[in-house]
Amino acid sequence: MAPPPTVIVGAKKRKIINMGDLVFQGSTTFFAFLVFALVFLMAYEMYRGSGLSIDKFGWSFLWREIWDPVQDEYGALVFIFGTFVSSVLALVLALPLSIGVAVFLSELAPRWLEKPVSFLIELLAAIPSIVYGLWGIFVLVPWLRISVEPLLSKNLKFLPLFRGAPYGFGMLAAGIILAIMVLPIITSISRDVLQAIPTAQREAALALGATRWETTRIILSDAKSGILGATLLGLGRAVGETMAVTMVIGNRPEISASLLAPGYTMASVIANEFTEATSDMYISSLIEIALILFAMTVLLNAAARLIVWGVTKKFKTA
């Protein structure tokens, strides 16, 4: 902001301070810091709330595998594993599809097609999580239980990934639902990143005799870090997703190598058990799980934003 003008009145200099500007500047700064303070306050409250379980379990809470409300013995490992595996599975399923759609929308699609398809993809992001959950229970899970999982467990039995009874409910169902939910995020950000790369790059490649596919490969390698940022944002959403996952994952606090087995994520255990947790240690452990989830999400989102910001800045100054 430019310093207020100085006016020489008589022998003294006087700054004309516009009251309105000062109030405006002050209040907007205040609101900006308020948002920051809110996040900080939430983290502090969670830290305070998990005091009991931090005192009892310390760092070992992160790698204890037990979850027993009767004995008041808790550990987060099962949930960290569940969150991690379901999110990574979602990315493995969604990423090829997302990048494909993004490339289609930015490079190959005619203008009249690109807008409606982009709109439809973004509509997927607007569907509430619980609607996905209901669809999962009534459509996805029976389909997996009847058609897909028996096939997988019979033919790919040699892989520990596909062993076990076909419940329908389980890690695979959660991974598929999360893949559908992160697809719009990764697609729209990747598409934006690809469109931010100047046309000059494409023209240069084509001028040198590259084919359409080779040009696209060059553009993709330019957009690498942007797509990585989009992936991390998608991962951030997958990690925090609650209702859709809890309705199809089977809610079983157990670590298993098989994708067909039921599991439990951090967000699901909080949603299921927090309102009914009666002992103080129980509540404190659940709050500690919330704190771990909070930290994970903040780190992922911060990393993603930094990367995406870096890429778009690089191409703006080019």
Partner 1 sequence: MKSLTIALLLLVLSLVVGETAFAQMKLNGAGATFPYVIYSKWFDVYSKKSGVEFNYQSIGSGGGIKQVTEGTVDFGASDGPMSDAQLQEAKGKQGTDILHIPTVMGADVVAYNLPAAGKDLRLTPDVLAGIFLGQITNWNDSKITSINPGKNLPDEAIIVAHRSDGSGTTYIFTDYLNKVSKTWAVNVGKGTSVNWPAGLGGKGNEGVAGIVKQTEGAIGYVELAYAVKNNLPYALMQNKEGAFVEATFESVSAAAAGASKNMPEDLRVSITNPDGKGSYPISGFTWLLIYQNMKDKSKAQEIVKFLKWAMADGQSYTKDLYYAPLPEAVVKLCLKKIDTISTN
Among 2, 276, 316, 317, binds partner 1 (CB under 8 A): 276
262 interacts with partner 1 by CB under 8 A:
yes
φ, ψ of residue 177 in degrees (nearest 5): -60, -40
Binding mask 203-242 for partner 1 (x = CB under 8 A): ----------------------------------------
Q: What's the CA gap between 205 and 218, in Å, rounded?
A: 8
**Amino acid letter, 163:** R
Q: What's the CA gap between 175 and 238, in Å, rounded?
A: 9
Contact range with partner 1 by CB under 8 A, out of 113-121, 247-255, 289-297, 302-310: 247-255
Contact range with partner 1 by CB under 8 A, out of 16-24, 51-59, 113-121, 163-171: 163-171
Q: Which is closer to partner 1, CB of 141 or CB of 194?
A: 141
DSSP state of 148: I
Among 97, 124, 125, 137, binds partner 1 (CB under 8 A): 137
Q: Which is closer to partner 1, CB of 132 or CB of 205?
A: 132
* 237's tokens: 């959403």
Quick count: other Cβ atoms within 10 Å of Cβ 202?
18
69 interacts with partner 1 by CB under 8 A:
yes
Nearest distance, CB of residue 270 and partner 1, angstroms: 12
Q: What's the CA gap between 242 and 130, in Å, rounded?
A: 9
Q: What's the CA gap between 47 and 152, in Å, rounded?
A: 43
Nearest distance, CB of residue 254 and partner 1, angstroms: 9
Nearest distance, CB of residue 109 and partner 1, angstroms: 40
Among 68, 122, 203, 214, binds partner 1 (CB under 8 A): 68
199 interacts with partner 1 by CB under 8 A:
no
Q: Which is closer to partner 1, CB of 16 or CB of 276?
A: 276
Longest dimension (CA), the chain: 96
272 interacts with partner 1 by CB under 8 A:
yes
71 interacts with partner 1 by CB under 8 A:
yes
Element holding 239 (H helix, E strand) = helix 224-240
Task: Report whether 259 contacts 178 (CB < 8 A).
Answer: no
Q: What's the CA gap between 143 and 147, in Å, rounded?
A: 6
Q: Which is closer to partner 1, CB of 32 or CB of 139?
A: 139
Q: What's the CA gap between 210 and 202, in Å, rounded?
A: 9
| Among 152, 193, 207, CA closest to 312 | 193
Binding interface with partner 1 (CB under 8 A): 66-71, 137, 141-142, 145, 165, 167-169, 246-247, 250-253, 262, 264, 272-273, 275-278, 282
